[in-house]
Amino acid sequence: MTNTFLTLFDTALGRCGIAWGDNGILSASFAEDSDDRTRAHLRRRAKDAVETDAVPAEIATVIADIRALMAGASKDLMQARLDLRDLGAFETELYALTRAIGPGETRTYGDLARALGDVALSQRVGQSLGRNPFPIIVPCHRVVGAGGAMTGFSAPGGIETKRQLLKIEGAIGPDLIDLMV
């Protein structure tokens, strides 16, 4: 059995979390409506994780990059080592394709499905991204519907969180509400 840990950390978009073990990051979480919900989200893949503030350098770097990304810096998080052992081949390949989408860029569910061999896989792509245990690190917020439609985002805050992240990264411009502030 490996040792697993988790920590919560503040970002410009709220208090997020990350869980890791000997083989890499097990899960990450957007800010939930409470720290307990964030911990519960992380423990889906890190059931026995012990909460700690003693974060190894490798994880501290990922946390710093997540904070920077959520504050508007261009970060791709490709250096983050993920523990993919419990995931299927489809998810592993999909998450690799999704990680290759850089800050300020988007792809459609259809684009990813075609890259996986068949546009008919679009729904499966969406379902798999909806179960993404590594949001932000595997940037599922950069995947949009056909024509750039903001669809299919299961993170706290839903499509508005997706839109906010894409604005921060410069993938989409401000909307009328942003211009009025």
Q: Where are the domains of the chain?
A: 4-70, 89-174
Does 89-174 match 4-70 at the fold level?
Answer: no
Q: Select which of 140, 166, 168, 171 is catalytic.
A: 140
What is 4-70's CATH superfamily? Methylated DNA-protein cysteine methyltransferase domain (3.30.160.70)
Bridge partners of 20?
5, 25
Residue 155, pLDDT score: 67
Query: What is the reported pLDDT for 175?
Result: 63
As a whole number of angstroms, the distance between CA 77 and CA 62 comes to: 7
Whether residue 25 contacts residue 134, with contact meaning beta carbons closer than 8 Å, is answered with: yes
pLDDT attached to residue 1: 44
Q: Which residues of the chain have pLDDT under 70?
A: 1-2, 152-157, 175-181
140 in active site: yes
- Residues 169-176: contacts with CB under 8 Å, at least 24 apart: 169/69, 169/72, 169/74, 169/103, 169/104, 169/142, 170/103, 170/104, 171/103, 171/104, 171/105, 171/106, 171/142, 172/148
The token pair that represents 119 in the structure block? 């546009």
Among 91, 104, 77, smallest CA distance to 18 is for 77
The pLDDT value recorded for residue 122 is 92
* Cα(31)–Cα(70) distance, integer angstroms: 11
Is the domain spanning 89-174 CATH 2.40.50.140? The answer is no
